[in-house]
Amino acid sequence: MPQSPLSLDRINASLPRPISEEALRETLFRSKVEPGARAGDRLTVEVTPDRLDLLDEAGLARELAGLLGLARGMGYAFEPAPLPGVEARQNASVSPLRGEFAAVALEAPPEGALDAGLLDEVIRFQELLHATTGRDRRAGSLGLYPLERLTPPFRYALEPLGQIRFLPLASSQETSGKEFYQTHPLALRYGDLGRQGDLVLTLRDEEDRILSLPPVLNAATTGEIRPGDHRILVEATGTRIARVRELIGYMLLPFVERGWKAHPVPVHGPEGTRDGREVLSPRKFTLAGTGVQRLLGVRLTAGELTEHLLTARLGAEVREGKVHVEVPPWRPDLLAEVDLVEEVAIARGYGRFLPILPPSPTRGARSRSARREAQLREVALGMDFQELYTPVLISGVAAGWGLALAEPLALVNPVSTEFSHIRSSLVPGLVAALARNTRSPYPQRAFELGPVVLRDGEAATGTRTDRHWALVESAAGSGFARAAAWSERLLGLFGLQAGREPFEVPGTLPGRSAQVRVAGETVLWMGEVHPRILSELHVREPVAFLVLHSSTLERLRPVSSAVPGP
Amino acid sequence: MPSPPGSEPLGLSLSGLEREILQVLRGASPGSPLGEDDLLGRVRSPPDAVRGGLQRLRAKGWLLLEETSREHWVLTERGREALAQGLPERRLLRLLEGGPRPLEEIRGEGFDPEALTVALGQLKRKGLLVPGRSLTLAGSPPATLEEEQALSRVERGEPPGADEVRATLVRRGLIAAERTVGRRWALSPQGAALPLEGAGPEGVGALTSQHLLKDRWSALSFRPYDVRAPVPFVGGARYHPYLEWLRQVEEVLVGLGFEEYRGPLVEQEFYNMDLLFMPQEHPARSLQDMLAVAGLEGGKIPGPLLRSVAAVHEGRPPPRQRSALSPGWQTPYEESVARHVVLRSQTTAATGRYLASHPRPPFRMYSVDLVFRRDAVDAQHHLQFHQAEGVMGRRGLTFRHLLGLLEQFTHALGIPEVRFQPTYFPFTEPSVQGMVRHPTLGWIEALPGGMFRPEVLRPLGVKVPTAAWGIGIGRLALVALGLNDIRELFLDDLPRLSQWRL
């Protein structure tokens, strides 16, 4: 889950009154935040992926203030009018590469300006958003610029690389676009996202100065915000407009919570002009008490609902009997009525919901196959076979032993060679277990009942999951005859009239393996493991095995609830 | 602890012979073992029977055996023949005592050619023959040769003598080295403490079928045993403790009215993810997190269900459902992604399949089954683990019922404390994380759940509130079984499993 080290001082500075770390931790248990270790002033917090706003100090303080009753309501309004002349043009040429663009203009409160603390907070939050919502800048990325030192309108376009002269952020030397894309570490990492052949994305101002090469890097001077700045342009580019708006919505938070005003930035694009208010406007919902009661199981009046929504730091008021809700731009997780219901539940506190037992109109039951399997386990235990639990994923080496009727499927992306194939038989895993017991006393007997995966051309996945039951024995004198004797016992137990047929199982001694078929289907197969495998594994005594296709048996002889007879 | 008078160790069933052996050794000098031959002479039974009794008593831990190994020399068959008839060189000396004789003449008298060659070589080497056409002695023949002396010593059981002579005799196949093992027996401390005095050797130890036949037992007296004496280890097969614990979990769920359902291990992403309203571009769907299966092309997905899920993902549900649904993920839904074949990463895939075939309420389903994640294996993580998944739906079901169910479930598992925290899953709203108190780790996440979103239920045709939960049950198993490493859930040490505490 996303996490970030946040400054406790800055959190407390954003609260109406400071709180202790203990109170902070206890309060956060009611939220989607998991506080972790503290190092100095920094407390690492982890949040659920839908609440990235809580990974900013201002965002976390806002949540805490609501839960502690120190503040309520959305507390957000934007300036409907753009700053004079501050607008942008989006060239049609960007569409195939990174076709979405939006921006806002931020204005510091009177007597205020960007300070070093806010600058650090914003830069850290920006990188976090790039890594999460931005999907490492592939889906979207943000840029912040010193609006006072720029000349609008701005132009987002695709330009020939040869025309570019660029002074990268944190550099003192201007470079050609070509050299920048060939040498700069960020260009090597993100360059492909902003480049199409010899064309690259640019953001320029009216004086034709490059502000940035999206989504790679800002320019020095024109793309560098500093303490003391009063006006900041925030823009986002991406492949989907929803993601671009999400990014800007999140980035509003640290500024708006410190009293900055947000102005829309109109964007003139190939499909017309957007006035920029859609980025800043709170989204509106109505919430019915009946819906809340239906989902949460508590009856809440419209007034109570409103109180909880205000605690959740949303806008809420009752009009004409309905609760009207406003959601700020940094809460893109709230998409439908059910999301608001959860906000009500969190604000009320999960601890205040009295758990009640649901009426039980159904009768519980194990599946029929599970009841058959319980019988098989009992039979195995009665024959003194120890139950084992071995991994479904086996190594390529074990897959190569055979001891199966079908080849195991391979994984495309195994983590290690030890777990590279999906077993089609339980026997290799059980033989491997015997190999780990060579220092234990003999005789050794083990069984497993579990799933195997087999190819099946008729299934949509091309596979089917069957259940097998396998016995293995390693002992002096063990061999095919032992396995055959087990098969006789099983056939008798399940009342099956069938005999053993010669059948070569890979990985067994030739002529010492067999199968039993019933109604044309293989139900049992058995054999004596080839000494080549046993030598390789240093197993000291011969090994016999038997496999029963539990799924097939259940099909042929469904388990009966009647008491079995002799 | 002393044994009761007149009793003997449990399972001892001492035969008269064994009792006699123990008494002979007890009568010997304390602390000094008796040689086996000496012991055989003192016990009134055939040597083979006594040796068997010694081994049985040793297996019971009441005797100690001290073995010593010794090398000595013996005459071979050829050596014994040479000693009886004379060495070949002695026989040749005898033939030449009457004067020189041609070699052909001696050969003609039947002297074995091989022995003659040896004899000539030996006499020449010792300087007892004069070179010439005839065989002539260089002087009076010696009364004894050193080889003859050496053979006599070996016959007496003495070492053969000088290294050079010994090597010659070995090379000529006349003597050979033999290794003998000497055995000395003594009472072990346990054996020394055995109570032998109270019961006579005529008492019967083990009851046998022969005793039972024709009521012979009624004429016998049976020796009492020392019921506190050590006994042999008894093992035996058991159910695997982890799997047995999982089955107890299932019993709890059955008791709560849930019916079992199992889904396939290999799934299409449609069931593993899409049906649960997981966006197709979600990071958890990358090959970094899921295990994909090679060589398989996913087949067709039922058309109506596919179209319905696609509409919800893209934010274009049927008009009459729009009010309750979110705008979706607003990305183009790709059927090719939905068809991908992977090892399922959550049992919620089974829930999706179940609901697709059981949309009518009321329903309660559980699945305790395997899921797979692309994690490196360490003490905390494994690629394969069990999830306990449950879903219940009926008219009037609410979030509080879910909390009640989770609370009852944890109590039934013997976990007294649980508290609930908000969390997030793409497919539930509200979502909840049940935290349970671990004796040393404190509160740990253990019970995730929530109310299914309309975006999940509508395409499946489910029209009632539905609660779902999916527990990483392995974590609870570690607590219940007292383990600290998730790899230990695969424990396959047969002796340890056999002795696992109940």
pLDDT in tens, B39-90: 998 888 888 889 888 988 888 888 988 888 888 899 999 899 888 889 999 9
Residues A151 and A232 in one domain: yes
CB A167 within 8 A of CB A145: no
Residues A209 and A293 in one domain: no
Q: Check residue B13 and give its pLDDT.
A: 56
Q: At B193, is the pLDDT very low, low, confident or very high (cuts 50, 70, 90)?
A: confident
Q: Check residue B202 and give its pLDDT.
A: 56
Give the three-class secondary structure for A107: strand
Q: At B287, is the pLDDT very low, low, confident or very high (cuts 50, 70, 90)?
A: low
Residues A252 and A204 in one domain: yes
CB A53 within 8 A of CB A328: no
The answer, yes or no, to whether residue B434 has pLDDT greater than 80, is yes
- Identify which has the larger pLDDT, A557 or A310: A310
Q: At B284, is the pLDDT very low, low, confident or very high (cuts 50, 70, 90)?
A: low
* Spatial separation of the C-alpha atoms in residues A248 and A245, rounded to whole Å: 5
Mean pLDDT of chain B: 85
Q: Check residue A351 and give its pLDDT.
A: 93
* Spatial separation of the C-alpha atoms in residues B105 and B446, rounded to whole Å: 108
Q: Check residue B298 and give its pLDDT.
A: 83
The CATH number for A398's domain is: 3.30.930.10
Give the helix/strand (H/E) hosting A111.
Answer: none
Q: Check residue B283 and give its pLDDT.
A: 67
Q: Which residue does chain B place closest to A419, by CA atoms? A: B383
* Spatial separation of the C-alpha atoms in residues A27 and A68, rounded to whole Å: 7
The answer, yes or no, to whether residue B157 has pLDDT greater than 60, is yes
In a domain? residue A552:
yes
Q: What is the pTM of this model?
A: 0.76
The CATH number for A312's domain is: 3.30.56.10
Of residues A240, A335, A385, nearest to B326 (C-beta): A335
Token look-up 């739906």 returns: B393
Residues A438 and A537 in one domain: yes
The answer, yes or no, to whether residue A267 has pLDDT greater than 50, is yes
* Spatial separation of the C-alpha atoms in residues A418 and A396, rounded to whole Å: 7
The answer, yes or no, to whether residue A149 has pLDDT greater than 50, is yes
Based on the number of CB atoms within 10 Å of its own CB, is B334 exposed (0-12), middle (13-18) or buried (19 or more)?
A: middle
**Listed residues A280, A304, A319: the one ending a domain:** A280
Q: Check residue B378 and give its pLDDT.
A: 85
Helix and strand element counts for chain B (H, E): 20, 17
In a domain? residue A72:
no
Residues A391 and A312 in one domain: no
pLDDT in tens, A401-432: 999 999 999 999 998 999 999 999 999 999 99
Q: Domain range spanning residue A107? A: 88-280
Residues A429 and A520 in one domain: yes
Residues A494 and A388 in one domain: yes
Mean of pLDDT values over A319-327: 92
Angstrom CA distances, B500 to A382, B238, B348, B386, B482, stand at 18, 8, 33, 21, 12
Q: Check residue B230 and give its pLDDT.
A: 66
Mean of pLDDT values over A245-274: 96
Report the candidate in A517, A518, A489 with the shortest Cα–Cα distance to residue A385.
Answer: A489
Q: Per residue, what are the HEC states of A427-495?
A: HHHHHHHHHCCCCCCCCEEEEEEEEEEEECCCCCCCEEEEEEEEEEEECCCCCHHHHHHHHHHHHHHCC
Q: Check residue A98 and give its pLDDT.
A: 95
Q: Check residue A203 and give its pLDDT.
A: 97
**Listed residues A294, A317, A351: the one ending a domain:** A351
* Spatial separation of the C-alpha atoms in residues A440 and A448, rounded to whole Å: 19
**Residue A420 contacts B where some CB pair is shorter than 8 Å:** no
pLDDT in tens, A481-521: 999 999 999 999 988 888 999 999 999 999 999 999 998 99
Mean pLDDT of chain A: 93
The answer, yes or no, to whether residue B225 has pLDDT greater than 70, is yes
Residues A398 and A500 in one domain: yes
* Spatial separation of the C-alpha atoms in residues A527 and A511, rounded to whole Å: 9
Residues A275 and A288 in one domain: no
Q: Which residue does chain B place closest to A361, by CA atoms? A: B362
The answer, yes or no, to whether residue B205 has pLDDT greater than 80, is no
Report the candidate in A312, A31, A356 with the shortest Cα–Cα distance to residue B431.
Answer: A31
Give the three-class secondary structure for B123: helix
**Residue A289 contacts B where some CB pair is shorter than 8 Å:** no
DSSP state of B222: B
In a domain? residue A356:
no
Q: Which residue does chain A place closest to B262, by CA atoms? A: A367
Residues A98 and A28 in one domain: no
For an interface test with B, give the residue of A32, A422, A461, A537 to mutate (most B CBs within 10 A): A461
Q: How far is B230 from chain A (nearest CA, A)?
A: 20
* Spatial separation of the C-alpha atoms in residues B162 and B173, rounded to whole Å: 17
Mean of pLDDT values over B463-467: 94
CB contact under 8 Å between B407 and A355, yes or no, is: yes
CB B398 within 8 A of CB A297: yes
* Spatial separation of the C-alpha atoms in residues A468 and A430, rounded to whole Å: 12
Residue A202: strand pairing partners: A157
B125: CB partners within 8 A, 6+ apart: none
Q: Check residue B6 and give its pLDDT.
A: 46
pLDDT in tens, A190-243: 999 999 999 999 999 999 999 999 999 999 989 999 999 999 999 999 998 999
In a domain? residue A310:
yes
Report the candidate in B305, B335, B308, B330 with the shortest Cα–Cα distance to residue B321.
Answer: B308
In a domain? residue A139:
yes
Give the three-class secondary structure for B496: helix
Residue B194: strand pairing partners: none
Determine how many CB atoms are found less than 10 A away from the CB of residue B158. 12
Q: Per residue, what are the HEC states of A62-101?
A: HHHHHHCCCCCCCCCCCCCCCCCCCCEEECHHHHHHHCEE
User: How many structural domains comprise chain A?
Assistant: 4
**Listed residues A256, A280, A304: the one ending a domain:** A280
DSSP state of B280: T
Based on the number of CB atoms within 10 Å of its own CB, is B440 exposed (0-12), middle (13-18) or buried (19 or more)?
A: exposed
| A139 neighbourhood in chain B, CB within 8 Å | 281
In a domain? residue A77:
no
Q: Check residue B3 and give its pLDDT.
A: 43
The answer, yes or no, to whether residue B349 has pLDDT greater than 60, is yes
* Spatial separation of the C-alpha atoms in residues A87 and A64, rounded to whole Å: 36
Angstrom CA distances, B39 to A106, B42, B43, B196, B202, stand at 107, 5, 6, 18, 21
In a domain? residue A202:
yes
Give the number of residues written for chain A: 566
* Spatial separation of the C-alpha atoms in residues B321 and B319, rounded to whole Å: 5
**Residue B374 contacts A where some CB pair is shorter than 8 Å:** yes
The answer, yes or no, to whether residue B12 has pLDDT greater than 80, is no
Q: Check residue A236 and give its pLDDT.
A: 98
In a domain? residue A563:
no
Residues A552 and A411 in one domain: yes
| A436 neighbourhood in chain B, CB within 8 Å | 492-493
Q: Check residue B216 and give its pLDDT.
A: 84
Q: At A185, is the pLDDT very low, low, confident or very high (cuts 50, 70, 90)?
A: very high
The answer, yes or no, to whether residue B255 has pLDDT greater than 70, is yes
CB contact under 8 Å between B493 and A437, yes or no, is: yes
Q: Which residue does chain A place closest to B431, by CA atoms? A: A342
Listed range (A248-252, A293-297, A554-558, B433-437) with the worst mean pLDDT: A554-558
Residues A260 and A220 in one domain: yes
